[in-house]
Structure 1
Amino acid sequence: MEFFNLKVFRYDPTKDSQPYYKTYKLPVEKGMTLLAALFKAKEEQDPTISFRYNCRAAICGSCAVRVNGHAALACKVQITHLLEKYQTDTIVVEPVGNIKPLKDLIYDMDWVIDKMKRIKPWFIPKEPPPPDGKEYRQSEYEHNKIDFASDCILCNSCMSDCNALKANKDFLGPMVISKAYRFIADSRDGAKKERLEEVLKDYNLEWCVRCMECTTRCPKEVQPYENIIRTRIIAAEEGYKTPGEIHATIFEQDIVNRGLLNEMLLPMRQEGILGALKRAPFGIRMFFKGKVNIADFFGGHKIKRLDEVKTIYEVAQRKKKDVKIKIPQIFGLVYESKRKAKQQGGNQS
């Protein structure tokens, strides 16, 4: 393929009533990044194209865009790889999703910054500086919990492809919660409670729909989805009774008592009578679709060999007291092992 089509989202609010797309025909050059292609189109065909960029080294996050429907850093992805990946001769470039476009590929950062301010994304020490005048210290074990989360470059790639944010603009979003986790899990920081209470407002931790698009699109392996789950675990460990924690507790009780989940009574047990009434129309539709077991409204039946399930549960409860490593720490250690293996492989090549 000698040429490809660069189809760019165009919008100038001073003269355009609606956005539109304009296509530029460019030569396929080995090693050309998407950002380089945008520059070529701007310098040789249309000087009015507007986009953000800065470091050109996948560090600053300024050049994040949507490429054929998915978020990416324009300075990182190469044209030949994109053409091969999508099996097409046309690359469609748009501003990141879920955020208001301002002009062409430039989008509104104020909306995201306002969300970020709520979780205070800066270090708030819980102790005075060390008397020896050196930096605040922490063990390698503790650092592994936040190492990956510290790599976030605030590029908004995860926010762009977040399905929950698309449905609810008030949701803080994966980038903001992930940045909150970076400080919540920091053993040196003193504002854990304050940040936890902020991300727990308005069911923010519950809004995540677990699609994992944020982690899939993250260019720096920050794991935003996993950081949301880690934050939920920490909130539970700190004693916060979130809807997710209550949900899990009810499931645990069902497994111990009957070996099966009773999802018919779940809304009432979790949200009370008013919560159950809100879900009544959905329950009625389920009934007429044959998805409701009437017996579950009266407690339901118990599985056979329930005694074996209870034995497993009792053993797990005893072992729980002996486990010193928390799940967020396990995730961090696994990630660190993968990264070290990748670095060693790169050094050998």
Structure 2
Amino acid sequence: MTPAREPWRSERGARTLLSRIAEPYDETVQELVAEHGVLDLVGYAVRDGRTPDGVPLTRLLSRLGRSLGVDEEQVTRALGVRVLVPGDAEWPAGLDDLTAVPWALWVRGPLRLDEAADGAVGVVGSRASSSYGDEAAARICFDLAERGRTIVSGAAYGIDAAAHRAALAADEGRTVAVLAGGVDVAYPRSNAELIARVGQHGALVSETPPGGAPARMRFLSRNRIIAALSVGTLVVECGLRSGARNTVAHARELDRHVMAVPGPVGSALSAGCHQEIRAGAVLVTDADEVIELVGRMGEDLAPVKRGGRVPQDDLDPETRRVWQWLRPRRSVSVDEVMVRSGLGLGEVLVALSELEERGLAEQLLDGWKRRSG
């Protein structure tokens, strides 16, 4: 075999091949990579099947023969996919914060991954979401996308799907779907149309090579990528044992922002969110509050939420004190108001006159009574 037909001799080729022969969550392989480096380790596997000190590379050999026969350039051209490795201009810097950095990433779609990750928000939640959760996710994600934030999620049922759809509905909205299988494998199949739209307008991302099937451990492994691609992770609705909490755990380990939308206190679907809030997640209810947390310090403060104004809001302090001691259903004497408010006779009379003029109090034969404004 000539060097030209041995792409594994380059760092990019070695990482691509390693992605096909080893699972990214395999701790044994991670230790071997830490010890030998990707390029040397793959070379040992191909040439001798063992390290120079005689350690068999059994974990790498079962898929090796079949993987060496794959023409990666042909695969990427045919599928319209690009392969990213650490050091590429498009490689998102946040991924380097991971303990287990992906060997490589397959990306499909027009959105540059490094640009998409700038200020991105990860959104996760229950697959069996309620209408409340879907509406909350859609409202927040649409507003975030309208304001230029990339929505990163996993293309699953429920909250993931609501988040992607909302981002796609926004004007020039950006979204990234991190998949557990290959970028050419739509899963779940009933979300195939949505996944295709994300690939057409945003980006599909996977550390599993094309053709790879989704599997439980690959779902858990991809969660760390969602967390690492984002400056903060928002969990909208999840139960106590939801996989969404695995993504939140990765976000905490990476020192990223963690946010949660509260739900009804008796809802099992929101019990996980409530536990995350108790553990330190920031309670958020809209896009303004998300951006206040993940945005530029001091420049993206959420507006203070206030209830509707009522006439008594405009009263001066003394007049308000008098108003507070009036009763709506019975009259109160001037002497009683003086005692309860701690004000003098003149102050009370001036305040009562002001309240009467504003329509907030009325004088009866035996005292004063509050009126609704």
Q: Which protein shows a greater Rg?
A: 2
Identify which of structures 1 and 2 has the higher relative contact order when contacts are C-alpha pairs closer than 8 Å and 6+ apart: 1
TM-score by length of 2: 0.26
TM-score by length of 1: 0.27
